[in-house]
Chain A
Amino acid sequence: MCGTCGCGDEEIVPVEVHDRILSGNDRTARHNREHFAKWSVVAVNLMGSPGAGKTAILEATAARKAGAVRFGALAGDLETSRDAERLRRAGIPSVAITTGSACHLDAELVHRALHGFPWQDLDFLFIENVGNLVCPAIYDLGQAANVVALSVTEGEDKPLKYPVMFRRADLVLLTKTDLLPYLPEVRVDAIRDALARVNPAPALLPVSARTGEGMSEWLSWLESRRPAFEEEPATADPVSS
């Protein structure tokens, strides 16, 4: 009953909430993050357009660190497990997450994929997101870092056009730089400038999976994301066979 005039009508009351709509996803992401931290696994959310070269970079990464670093991957796509198969062939234990029609991964999809996958033994878990420059940026997965792959053929102004994605990038890998000689109109400096107008701490690393350009810097960057106590002495671990 209406509290003010006693007219017998139901009362309409405002209920203040002021909470993120995706608070459910945020909760699951926090849970994932706690798991990763507990097992000292560095989770990297790898995003970018379809065809930006995300899988190729991971293949090249594995080829350079085979045996020395334990990589694993979750590969998100609308359909097929082709990327996961490619990564497994490259020596990266991988599971496919097929999203059906969803344009992004969310924390729950990642959480479910981790069941039955021996991720606890990894040094790095790459979460290769669905190829898309918009939606994946919105969902926290529990990652330690966001890496965006942007290929040189995509154009200089992509960061300005997709600020939501590039604002959150801890690192932008400018991929396929071996194609630059064929693209006289593409200037790396212009891409760097565009990134600095949407990201307050811009980091751009030109790489090529084909020639190996930038790969050692990329590997150093990955190493720098590992928890400090994980740093191992240069001598071989006596326990390992």
Chain B
Amino acid sequence: MHEYSIVQALVERVEELAREKRARAVHGVLVSIGELSGVEPDLLATAYVTFRERTICEKAELTILPVAARWDCPRCRQGIPRGSLLSCPLCGIPARLAAGDEIVLERIEMEVA
């Protein structure tokens, strides 16, 4: 289960930014997790609760924004429904993943003096 190593990277990044901004505390962390990112939101939340102890995130709530997978044609932008063959029926070129592979730290709510 790699969610622990994701959380470790997340907390380290938050600590780094909090130091940079001279924050006294962190109140909230917002991340977006794509459906095709390979990260399971529930497992991430569990890993976060375990790992945040004695870190700057100890009292910070984690909000996970799930992002649905969306394929489309890079040329005509037509959406390609999930489960179908991943090439554009009109242009005949490979589809691209327009959204859904995010493992992104979006925002931190910090308490500054």
Binding site for B on A (CB under 8 A): 1, 10-25, 102-104, 106, 134-135, 137-139, 163-165, 167, 193, 196-202
Contact: B36 with A164, CB < 8 Å? yes
Contact: B2 with A16, CB < 8 Å? no
Instruction: Tell me which residues across on chain B come within 8 A of A138, comparing CB atoms.
Output: 2, 6, 37-39, 103
Contact: B24 with A21, CB < 8 Å? no
Instruction: Tell me which residues across on chain B come within 8 A of A1, comparing CB atoms.
Output: 113
Q: How far is the CB of B86 from chain A (nearest CB, A)?
A: 4
Inter-chain CA distance A196–B12, complex, in Å, is 38
* Chain A: CB-nearest residue to B87: A200
Inter-chain CA distance A112–B105, complex, in Å, is 27
B75, CB-defined interface residue at 8 Å:
no
B94, CB-defined interface residue at 8 Å:
yes
Contact: B6 with A21, CB < 8 Å? yes
Instruction: Tell me which residues across on chain A come within 8 A of B52, comparing CB atoms.
Output: none
Contact: B108 with A200, CB < 8 Å? no
Inter-chain CA distance A202–B103, complex, in Å, is 24
Contact A14 to B107, CB < 8 A, known contacts A23-B13, A197-B83: yes
> Which of B6, B83, B110 is in CB contact (< 8 Å) with A22?
B6
- In the assembled complex, 23 residue pairs joining A and B whose CB atoms fall closer than 8 Å, in A order, are A1-B113, A10-B112, A12-B27, A14-B110, A15-B17, A15-B107, A16-B106, A17-B17, A17-B105, A17-B108, A20-B103, A20-B104, A20-B105, A21-B6, A21-B104, A21-B105, A24-B13, A102-B5, A135-B2, A164-B36, A196-B85, A197-B84, A200-B96
Contact: B2 with A104, CB < 8 Å? yes
Instruction: Tell me which residues across on chain B come within 8 A of A22, comparing CB atoms.
Output: 6, 9, 103
Contact: B21 with A15, CB < 8 Å? yes
Inter-chain CA distance A102–B1, complex, in Å, is 8
Contact: A19 with B104, CB < 8 Å? yes
Inter-chain CA distance A103–B1, complex, in Å, is 6
* Chain B: CB-nearest residue to A24: B9
Contact: A12 with B17, CB < 8 Å? no
Q: How far is the CB of A22 from chain B (nearest CB, A)?
A: 6
* Chain B: CB-nearest residue to A136: B2
Contact: B10 with A21, CB < 8 Å? yes
**Given A17-B105, A20-B104, 16 further pairs, Cβ under 8 A:** A11-B111, A15-B109, A16-B106, A17-B106, A18-B107, A19-B104, A21-B13, A21-B103, A21-B105, A24-B9, A135-B2, A137-B38, A138-B39, A196-B86, A199-B86, A200-B86
Inter-chain CA distance A102–B4, complex, in Å, is 10
Contact: B113 with A10, CB < 8 Å? yes
Instruction: Tell me which residues across on chain A come within 8 A of B86, comparing CB atoms.
Output: 196-200, 202
* Chain B: CB-nearest residue to A137: B38
Inter-chain CA distance A144–B42, complex, in Å, is 32
* Chain A: CB-nearest residue to B20: A15
* Chain B: CB-nearest residue to A3: B112
Inter-chain CA distance A197–B81, complex, in Å, is 10
